[in-house]
C-alpha cells in the first residue's frame, strides 16, 4: 500500500508536530506516512505578518498541494487557519491539544514581574503586546520575528530581556525547560486555537474517515468556540483578541467555559467577557459571546486594528488568530 503523503511546512516545529501526527496516524491505520515539505508565503517573505495581510500565509500553499493531489493530508497549527472553511477541504481531525498558554523566556531566570521597568520584551503578536501593556509593568514591548531558536538566542545575547512564546511550541521541540514563567490566562489569554493542530483532507476522500480517528472531541469543541468568537468579532491577526475555551466536568455533565478579551493596542481599553454552554453547541456559544462583546463595544477595538490589505500574490481570506509566526 502506498504511503500517506502528509504535507508540512519545513520549519523544525512544523515538521516535529507533523511527525507527531504522522506517527499516530500510522499506528492507527497500519500504513506508512511520508512527510512532504511545502514552502509557504509566510516562510518566503521576511515582512511582519500583519503587513502580509496575516491571513492564511502559512496555509494556502499546503491547501493548494492538497487540492492538486501532491499530498493526501495537510497538518497546520490550528491558529493559522482562516475562520472561513476552504472549498473542497475538510478539517478531518483536531488531535488532543497541547497546553495553550503563553510562556516567558527571560534573562537570568526572571519572571515578568521581576523584570525591571524599561526591560525590552520581544513579541510579534499584537495580542500579546496589548496584554503586556495592560499589566502596567512599564516594560518596553518591541517587535521581533524569527523562529523559536532565533528569539531565545536574542535573549541570551542581550538584545532582549525576555520574549513571549507559545508553550506548545517549546514543548513540542523539547525546549520547555527554557521557559522562566508560564503565564496564567488571567494575565495573558492565548490566541484562538493556540496549542491545537489541524489535520485537513480533501472533501469526499475516503482518507477523511480514517484520519478522523485522531480527533479529540473536547479539543475540537474548545477551538470551535474560540474561532467563532474571533469570526464574530471579525478581528484579523492585527486585532488584539485573546480567547480560551475549556471543556470541564460540571454538575450535570460536561460544560464548555469560554473567556475572551478584545483590547486596544496600548492595553488601556478592553472588553472582557465569558460564557458557558454545552460542548455540543460550541459554535453557538462562541457566536453568542462574540455578539455580546460587540454589544459592549469590542467592534470599535477590532475595527481600529483591522489587518491591512494583503500584498499582491497573498490570498485574501478570513481572520486568523495571531500575527506571530507558527514557530512562536
Alpha carbon dihedral 3, 4, 5, 10, in 10-degree steps, equals -100
> Going by DSSP bridges, is the β-strand pair 140-142/181-182 parallel, antiparallel, or unpaired?
unpaired
SS3 per residue for 162-186: EEEEEHHHHHHCCCHHHCCEECCCC
Among candidates 13, 173, 172, 184, which has minimal Cα distance to 104?
Answer: 184
Angle of helix 148-156 relative to helix 12-29, nearest 10 degrees, comes to 140
Q: Give catalytic residue positions.
A: 80
As a whole number of Å, the CA-based R_g of the chain is 19
Q: How many angstroms separate the Cα of 238 from the Cα of each of 18, 84, 162, 173, 282?
A: 27, 17, 22, 27, 25
Angle of helix 282-295 relative to helix 217-233, nearest 10 degrees, comes to 30
60 SS3 class? helix
Sign of CA dihedral 272, 277, 283, 287: negative
Amino acid at each position: 500500500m502506498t504511503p500517506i503523503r502528509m504535507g508540512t511546512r519545513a520549519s523544525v516545529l512544523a515538521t516535529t508536530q507533523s511527525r507527531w501526527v504522522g506517527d499516530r496516524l500510522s499506528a492507527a491505520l497500519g500504513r506508512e506516512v511520508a512527510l512532504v515539505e511545502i514552502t509557504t508565503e509566510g516562510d518566503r517573505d521576511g515582512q511582519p505578518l500583519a503587513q502580509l495581510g496575516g491571513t492564511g500565509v502559512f496555509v494556502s500553499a499546503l491547501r493548494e498541494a492538497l487540492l492538486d493531489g501532491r499530498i493526501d493530508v495537510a497538518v497546520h497549527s490550528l491558529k493559522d487557519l482562516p475562520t472561513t472553511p476552504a472549498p473542497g477541504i475538510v478539517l478531518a481531525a483536531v488531535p488532543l491539544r497541547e497546553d495553550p498558554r503563553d510562556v516567558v523566556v527571560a534573562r537570568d531566570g526572571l519572571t515578568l514581574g521581576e523584570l525591571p521597568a524599561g526591560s525590552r520584551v520581544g513579541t510579534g503578536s499584537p495580542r500579546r503586546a496589548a496584554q503586556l501593556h495592560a499589566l502596567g509593568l512599564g516594560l518596553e514591548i518591541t517587535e521581533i520575528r524569527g523562529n523559536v531558536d532565533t528569539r531565545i538566542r536574542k535573549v541570551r545575547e542581550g538584545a532582549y530581556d525576555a520574549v513571549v512564546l507559545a508553550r506548545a511550541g517549546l514543548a513540542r521541540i523539547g525546549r520547555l525547560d527554557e521557559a522562566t514563567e508560564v503565564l496564567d490566562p488571567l494575565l495573558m489569554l492565548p490566541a484562538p486555537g493556540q496549542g491545537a493542530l489541524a489535520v485537513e483532507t480533501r472533501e469526499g476522500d475516503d482518507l477523511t474517515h480514517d484520519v478522523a480517528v485522531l480527533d479529540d472531541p473536547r479539543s475540537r469543541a474548545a477551538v470551535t468556540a474560540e474561532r467563532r468568537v474571533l469570526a464574530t468579532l471579525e478581528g484579523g491577526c492585527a486585532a488584539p483578541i485573546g480567547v480560551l475555551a475549556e471543556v470541564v466536568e460540571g454538575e450535570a455533565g460536561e460544560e464548555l467555559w469560554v473567556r475572551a478579551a478584545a483590547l486596544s493596542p496600548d492595553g488601556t481599553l478592553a472588553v472582557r467577557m465569558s460564557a458557558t454552554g454545552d460542548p455540543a453547541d460550541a459554535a453557538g456559544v462562541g457566536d453568542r459571546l462574540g455578539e455580546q462583546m460587540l454589544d459592549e463595544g469590542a467592534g470599535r477595538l477590532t475595527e481600529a486594528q483591522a489587518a491591512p490589505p494583503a500584498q499582491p500574490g497573498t490570498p485574501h481570506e478570513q481572520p486568523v488568530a495571531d500575527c506571530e509566526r507558527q514557530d512562536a
